[in-house]
Amino acid sequence: MDIRVQEQPFDFGAEANRFAAGHTEMGAVVTFTGIVRDVADGLQSMQIEHYPGMTEKALEQHAREALTRFKLGDVLIIHRYGVLAPGEMIMMVATAAPHRADAFQAAEYLMDYLKSRAPFWKKETTGDGAGWVAAKDEDEDALGRW
């Protein structure tokens, strides 16, 4: 299990390769990457705030829960904070499992929990000013399936 909360960018390819290389008994590796998406009125930057201490604890707790719920060999979570530009990678999740169903499901489970249970907040700055991104009902509803 590898959990990192950091300001600096990460090398997605290198991280995915390193994660996949360590697991000869795992037949499936699934990765997800979240990218800062441009918005209709032109996104200048996205600021991500987090709760140091609680963030790491919450991510670790959900990673441990994923390892219990699914037939999983390993989990990697990297999540950035600070000021990001459109197109930059915000975060990645990787899961390794003997078979693909568990790897896919665990990645979805982790993403659903990360969206609304890890203490991160996004603020978008456009030409019209800055505003906090509101949580979506559908993200909260997504937890219901687990």
Partner 1 sequence: MEVLYFAWVRERIGLPRETVETEAKTVAELVAELRKREERYEAAFADLSALRVALDQELADFDAPLEGVREVAFFPPMTGG
Residues binding partner 1 (CB under 8 A)? 34, 49, 51, 53-54, 57, 79, 90-91, 111, 114-123, 132-135, 140
> Is the Cβ of residue 16 or residue 35 nearer to partner 1 in the bound state?
35
Residue 28 Cβ, how far from partner 1 at the closest point, in Å? 22
d(CA 122, CA 127): 17
**Smallest distance, partner 1 to C-beta of residue 98, A:** 26
Nearest distance from C-beta of residue 86 to partner 1, angstroms: 16
What angle in degrees, to the nearest 10, is found between the helix axes of 54-69 and 100-117? 150
Q: Which tokens belong to 3? A: 């959990």
Say if CB 72 and CB 95 are below 8 A apart.
Answer: yes
User: Looking at beta carbons only, is 26 or 43 nearer to partner 1?
Assistant: 43
Distance CA 15, CA 82 (A): 20
CA angle, 61 as apex, 56 and 62 as ends, to 5°?
A: 105
Nearest distance from C-beta of residue 70 to partner 1, angstroms = 19
Nearer to partner 1 (CB atom), residue 22 or residue 53:
53
